[in-house]
Structure 1
């Protein structure tokens, strides 16, 4: 007999999409996979050197539960530079990826019944972890405001039970970047209503001109003591498999996180910690520039191909490395022809008819959207998006 909480959440929808793509490919079909939330790239040289050096030094023992002191000091320096506010090592917890940082934040902040405001479409882990912690997700619709929440809608959703607001910019899945005015407004709402802000900026390294990513703490310094910053190196250094991230926040929260982490994963992988410390101490600007150029080139190619869509508007793709397609007009056209379709139907059709794997917006709380990753090889991206465009246009 399973615990009751096991019925409260499902496996990740993005993981399920990857599994479906691999199953189709394993059956012998030619599948181009646009589901993965990662960039195809070699390791950053400085990360490789740091990892090998740590192995050669036989570094195989526990570290502090929330990470090496030197690493936390280096991360505090990074966050200080990005927020224009001083941070110290006791305000940093190194975690096994951003997911653990978010889990720690939910478990440390939320009591049963607490409400968390989550703009939709949303990364599926946000509401799942709120539920695990006993909280209640409250979704704020953004589809009619270019996927950025309106301050009036956020304010209207606040109740006596509201404990926190999730801010994810650049956004997964939509790629929307919150402007300074929106961030300042959210910060003021949090101050006025005594709320926490969980600020996920994992895609912050990829803001595409003319858009700029801003830390909410740099925009509104007064919100610093009620903000938890979540970040990782999975995207910015293409290290998804290394599972290394961090949480920055007030020292009492980090202290609680340390106690929690001591009973869950304990310290993150020691080799990954030393590799990241080497990167932070030495830098790797050539690699980071190359990675940003790679993503920018893929975005430009993809937008050019997707501009040929007839019933689906070209995505804005302001940040990150996803194209998020709005299927609303495609659905209206299908309805006029006697068909009732949602994003799941479109995703299944693309997989079966075009050999292109995508992620349904229903995973993100949106039955009228699909997410496409452009972090893959350029040639495959070109082929996949052309197949997808032909298939969707044939629905006209």
Structure 2
């Protein structure tokens, strides 16, 4: 029986990189073959499959920023690769991977599965930019593209706002392998043993400024330290965050860490009392999935992605955006109530096992791959 050949196209950094590697590590190699087309400045770790064999990969000038020259070059090079490799379909991931993958799919007549991992128009800080990015998404949704959402919220937005017909949508929740071993930190530990944490670069999406204000409110009644991971990549709000920390006299209450290894991230989440997110939007955030797998309750903003993972009064709390007082109160509730904390901790792990353990969910993705080729 001929293997189904999939070309993954993406800017392989952050959660998008985690997503692809988890798929490659678990996809059946007897019936499926993968190649990877990714950015030349992406994470340098080798892509390997379920049998620990290297996956064929190609590097292109795929970058986050819009550049006519780089984007056109990437499209033309990807077009040549797709013609050479002749995959059964392209699976594009995230915004830039989606633009390049869907254009090349149209040029070569190759079927497309596209996973946004949060639509581009959600990142727009102005109405003009949002209108433009949404228009692009609407144009690219036409033709033979199948939307493969990473969460129910993303699926609903694809249908209700972007205009995908329901018949051209499907769902595969982001999933990871169970975390069975926590490695020692590869970086010096400079923060207290008791702390809360979040993973996300200071930017519009992650809304770290709001989290700093929450921390300030919280420290009026309890002594709390916050560790923020992932400062190094595309941290265009870093200066604002640093200024706010200084203004609120929180320099001794916040640790800012540059991007580090996933093993370090897991180590820090595993020892954190709670996981926090004040993001404005997400796809389906891997850091929260990891916290669930590690039995860590969360307090998060009620946005796409977050609300798909955290259920009020079950494994944490979802709080309306920028409701500083309620957010700090929910954190304090879990810090003070040990019985409730332990219940939420147990439920966090149960949520992971039921919905986001890739050892179980990979069969769903394999079924989707097969179904879309019929």
TM-score range, shorter chain: 0.3 to 0.5
By percentage of residues, which structure has more helix?
1
Q: TM-score, normalised by structure 2?
A: 0.35
TM-score, length of structure 1 as denominator length: 0.33
